């Protein structure tokens, strides 16, 4: 006779509870991350920005300024740099919009030429592979003149007389109103107004969150460590430091690589007389850092700019070669030195993290996937029971 606290498979109820509780907790966490993703994304970006600006705050504090004033100075400088960069991009976009009709004409002619070449190729292929039609003799029916007698003895009445249409009264013609349809761009904007509103609303909280995270850094750090005792407090302190170092290394390394790619791209595009080299070079350089799809994204700005400006074919191929060479050099030489040496994630962990966080948080998840996963690995490396998971994620 079996005991009442065991199931038919020999597993006790305590073991079932120990297995089910982590599964339930994981489900609750995933649901919270998905349903409140706007809040978590805003918080994650604020934490990353605060970790990046923390070393600069320490440098300013060496001038014997209080922490709140140092945070304010660093924040003002960061906002000023962002404003100058945005102003430069805005000037390029404004100049580009002034030549939009000319660019549209060049793109239309290019697409028309490509369509004509594809059509001619299809016709040539059809003539080459389709069988020749067989010639068949068809008997044409004999027509008789009006008024003649047919074989059955009937007279051919000839063509029917023409019917003159009667004039229609204006009262009988219904008024037709043509409803103007919205363009697809307008439909897309109307459909995304809610998302844009959420983005603007959450983005407005980022400066305040970053400021309070930096100005209250010491208080938050001490308060968090009070949740732990003894050796656990030391492990928590090492985990916090590891997460901060990895986040800074990842973001600073990617930013440095993006600046290098953007600078070289702008210089080369200016030499080959590509229109708006600053805007095209910056977009191409930083889009090249997007995981897995960075190469086609980086190719889009220079190739579209060359096609829209009616640049000759050698310029288009040269732009393609420049972006391809810079992307391969960055991913195979610069990225392992500046980022990979500190992140220590294996390719499988990187791919799965991109899939997981991209599913939960869409495009923002793709941007935050690697720093979040690297931070989880840093915590696992400093907590003894979780070290096997750290080795699983590591390289």
Q: Dihedral sign, CA of 334, 357, 81, 54?
A: negative
Contact 379, 242 (CB under 8 A): yes
- Count: domains in the chain: 1
Contact 358, 366 (CB under 8 A): yes
Query: How far is the C-alpha of 126 from the C-alpha of 131, rounded, in Å?
Result: 9
Residue 128: CB atoms within 10 A of its CB come to 7
Beta bridge partners of 155: 149
pTM value?
0.66
DSSP state of 170: G
Query: How far is the C-alpha of 185 from the C-alpha of 395, rounded, in Å?
Result: 45
Is residue 45 in a domain? yes
Contact 298, 331 (CB under 8 A): no
pLDDT at residue number 150: 52
Q: How many CA atoms lie within 13 A of 366 on its CB side?
A: 9
Helix, strand or coil, per DSSP, at residue 144: coil
Is residue 158 in a domain? no
Is residue 262 in a domain? no
Per-residue pLDDT of the chain (395 residues; tens, 9 = 90+): 445 455 555 556 676 666 777 788 888 988 998 888 888 989 988 888 888 888 888 889 888 888 889 999 998 998 998 888 888 778 777 776 666 666 667 667 767 777 777 877 777 777 776 665 555 555 455 555 555 555 555 555 555 555 555 554 554 445 545 444 555 555 655 555 566 777 787 888 888 999 998 888 888 888 888 888 888 888 888 888 888 888 788 888 888 888 899 899 889 888 888 877 888 888 888 888 887 778 888 888 888 888 777 777 788 888 888 888 988 888 888 887 777 767 778 888 888 888 898 888 888 888 888 888 888 888 888 888 888 888 888 87
Token pair 């590891």 in the structure block, residue: 242
pLDDT at residue number 106: 66
Is residue 77 in a domain? yes
Is residue 107 in a domain? yes
pLDDT at residue number 80: 92
Is residue 66 in a domain? yes
* Structural domain of 44: 37-116+209-216
Residue 34: CB atoms within 10 A of its CB come to 12
Is residue 62 in a domain? yes
Is residue 67 in a domain? yes
pLDDT at residue number 77: 92
Q: Which residues contact 211 (CB under 8 A, 6 or more apart)?
A: 71, 72, 75
Burial of 7 (0-12, 13-18, 19+ CB in 10 A): exposed
Cα 271–90–371 angle (5° rounding)? 90
DSSP state of 119: H
């Amino acid at each position: 006779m079996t005991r009442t606290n065991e199931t038919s498979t020999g597993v006790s109820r305590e073991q079932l509870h120990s297995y089910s509780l982590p599964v339930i907790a994981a489900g609750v966490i995933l649901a919270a991350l998905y349903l409140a993703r706007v809040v978590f994304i805003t918080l994650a970006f604020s934490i990353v920005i605060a970790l990046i600006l923390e070393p600069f705050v320490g440098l300013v504090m060496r001038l014997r300024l209080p922490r709140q004033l140092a945070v304010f100075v660093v924040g003002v400088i960061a906002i000023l740099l962002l404003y100058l960069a945005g102003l430069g991009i805005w000037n390029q976009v404004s100049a580009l919009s002034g030549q939009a009709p000319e660019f549209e004409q060049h793109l239309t002619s290019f697409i028309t030429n490509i369509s004509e070449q594809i059509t001619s190729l299809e016709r040539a292929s059809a003539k080459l592979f389709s069988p020749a039609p067989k010639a068949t003799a068809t008997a044409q029916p004999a027509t008789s003149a009006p008024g003649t007698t047919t074989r059955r003895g009937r007279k051919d009445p000839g063509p029917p007389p023409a019917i003159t249409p009667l004039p229609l009264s204006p009262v009988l013609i219904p008024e037709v109103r043509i409803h103007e349809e919205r363009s697809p761009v307008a439909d897309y904007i109307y459909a995304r107004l809610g998302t844009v509103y959420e983005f603007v609303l959450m983005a407005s909280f980022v400066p305040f969150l970053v400021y309070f995270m930096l100005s209250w850094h010491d208080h938050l750090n001490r308060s968090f460590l009070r949740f732990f005792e003894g050796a656990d407090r030391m492990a928590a302190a090492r985990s916090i430091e590891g997460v901060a170092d990895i986040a800074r290394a990842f973001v600073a390394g990617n930013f440095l690589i993006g600046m290098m790619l953007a600078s070289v791209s702008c210089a080369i595009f200016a030499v080959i007389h590509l229109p708006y080299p600053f805007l095209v070079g910056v977009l191409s350089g930083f889009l090249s850092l997007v995981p897995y799809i960075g190469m086609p994204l980086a190719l889009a700005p220079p190739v579209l700019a060359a096609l829209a400006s009616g640049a000759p074919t050698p310029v288009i191929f040269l732009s393609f070669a420049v972006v391809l060479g810079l992307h391969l050099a960055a991913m195979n030489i610069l990225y392992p030195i500046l980022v990979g040496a500190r992140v220590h994630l294996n390719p499988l962990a990187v791919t799965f993290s991109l899939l997981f966080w991209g599913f939960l948080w869409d495009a923002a998840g793709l941007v935050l996937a690697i720093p979040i996963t690297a931070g989880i690995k840093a915590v696992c490396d400093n907590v003894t029971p979780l070290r096997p998971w750290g080795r699983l994620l590591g390289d």
